[in-house]
Amino acid sequence: MDKQWEQMTADEKQEAQFQKLLSPKDPEGNDVKFESPAAEATYKANLTRIKDAIQMKKKPDRVPVVIFPSMFPYYFAGITPREAMYDYDKCVAAFKKYMLEYQPDMHIGASAPGPGRFFELVDYKLYAWPGHGVADEHCYQCIEKEYMKPEEYDLLLMDPSFYFRNFYLPRVYGALQGFTMLPPFTGILEMYGVAFNFIPFGLPPVQETFKKLFEAGAEALKWAGAMGGCDAELRAKGFPNILGGYTKAPYDVIGDTLRGTRGIMMDMYRQPDKLLEALERLVPIMIAMGINSMKQTGNPLIFIPLHKGADGFLSDAQFQKFYWPTLKQVIVGLIEGGCIPFIALEGKWTTRLEVIQDIPRGKTLWMIDQSDIQKVKATLGRNACLAGNVPSSLLRLGTPQEIRDYCKHLIDTVAQDGGFILANGAFFDEAKPENVKAMVDFGKEYGVYK
């Protein structure tokens, strides 16, 4: 690199990230070995196609085609989500089978099921998962509650890390009860009295928590090893994964897992100033979360699933006051840090387009679910690459011909000047394999730019 990273513009950082991906290195710093020259050529062509679509500087050779599945690969390979969560080798084998069958231009890894034994070790309460509250053959599901109480905003504001460690985490991870006894680390200052801060680490409940953490950490490491191996193998076959991590809109941090949907809505009326202050407080934290993941993984795409700002969930005025300003700061902060925010507009966001279109050009990727895709193209789509929006209902219940018709209409109407990736609109579990196949194959054939 000619210039120091910190001195680079956002443009230069993004380009540098792509160039690094185009000449991938293994952990030892040697050039990655591909299975064949053809696999290497495929890898570079796939990545270049995605890069061109995102940057919007020129049209790619054809419309990129990507699948964003939830549990579909595992159903396809004939294993249950429970097996995928508890047997990492099976999980990886299933994912590879699915990738080789469908051959999309890019993937986002086999990490969707997650490590089942890890969740058991930490006694995770935020989700029910196969064998733990939902059937073996179903996907995990979130259990939304008021994990943060309405009167706890001041605690969160004072020190978010302390609040998470001592209050929030022990409520959603049974094994982390010992954390409630830990002191704030910012009190660890000088010789005199300093040892008092460490007394909690001598207490049995805290030691018990740490023992479980060691075990859980080892399990997470084992799982991550399997995931990394999967990515490396698929890369050697020509399929890039450029997903580097995830972060969230500040409003969703509070509305999804802290206060909950109902809780945050009540706060908008009963304590709007506290809520606004907390949202602002989370901005640098959410930016750092994305940038740190990018640095750790070397992949620039940072996933941001958007939830509680969808059409109807807020009035326009509420959206512009509570949801968008802090999300925009996070998006811009990530871009300036060299990340590519990959934002999923889950559900319908048609009424938000005028507001959210105001973002830097060629620096983001948006997954479009049920929003009016033509309107999205005419607003947000002028500055940002869109991916979508083949419906889950069509993939599950439609016919291959219906899929091809839908994709043809998409390509004809929103892909013509580039900046579009053909994909499904929402993460999906069940689908007819022939419908997924029809989406990918038709996109590759019909999507060639002339």
Partner 1 sequence: MPETLAKLLSNLQESEALAYVGEALEKGVDPTKLLEGAKEGMSIIGQKFADGEYFIPDLIFSGEIMKGIVALLEPKLKEAHGGGAGKQGRVIIATVEGDIHDIGKDLVVSMLDVNGFEVFDLGVDVPVQTIVDKIKETNAPVVGLSGFLTLAYDAMKKTVDAIEAAGLRDRVKVMIGGGQVDEKVKDYTGADAYGLDAMDAVKLAKQWIGG
Catalog residues that contact partner 1 under the rule CB under 8 A. 128, 133-135, 138-139, 141-144, 261-262, 265-266, 268-270, 312-315, 318, 347, 391-394, 396-398, 426, 428-431
Helix (H) or strand (E) holding 55, with range, is helix 37-55
Quote the least distance from Cβ 135 to partner 1, whole Å: 6
Quote the least distance from Cβ 278 to partner 1, whole Å: 17
Cα–Cα nearest to 116, from 102, 105, 129, 126: 129
Spatial neighbors of 388 by CB under 8 A, at least 6 apart, are 366, 367, 368, 369, 373, 410, 421, 423, 424, 425
Quote the least distance from Cβ 264 to partner 1, whole Å: 9
Cα separation, 439 vs 66, in Å, equals 9
Token pair belonging to 85: 């969560």
User: Count of CB atoms within 10 A of residue 347's CB?
Assistant: 18
Spatial neighbors of 156 by CB under 8 A, at least 6 apart, are 148, 163, 258, 278, 281
Task: State the DSSP string of 351-408.
Answer: GGHHHHT-S-TTS-EEEESSS-HHHHHHTGGGTSEEEEEE-HHHHHHS-HHHHHHHHH
Quote the least distance from Cβ 317 to partner 1, whole Å: 10
- Measured from the CB atom, is 294 or 367 closer to partner 1? 367
Which phi and psi (to 5°) does residue 417 adopt? Answer: -105, 25
- Measured from the CB atom, is 75 or 153 closer to partner 1? 75
Quote the least distance from Cβ 57 to partner 1, whole Å: 35
Quote the least distance from Cβ 263 to partner 1, whole Å: 10
- Measured from the CB atom, is 302 or 426 closer to partner 1? 426
Quote the least distance from Cβ 406 to partner 1, whole Å: 12
Cα separation, 296 vs 292, in Å, equals 6
Cα–Cα nearest to 70, from 373, 427, 361: 427
Quote the least distance from Cβ 370 to partner 1, whole Å: 8
Cα–Cα nearest to 294, from 248, 341, 327: 341
- Measured from the CB atom, is 311 or 441 closer to partner 1? 311
- Measured from the CB atom, is 177 or 318 closer to partner 1? 318
- Measured from the CB atom, is 333 or 398 closer to partner 1? 398
- Measured from the CB atom, is 36 or 399 closer to partner 1? 399
- Measured from the CB atom, is 78 or 312 closer to partner 1? 312
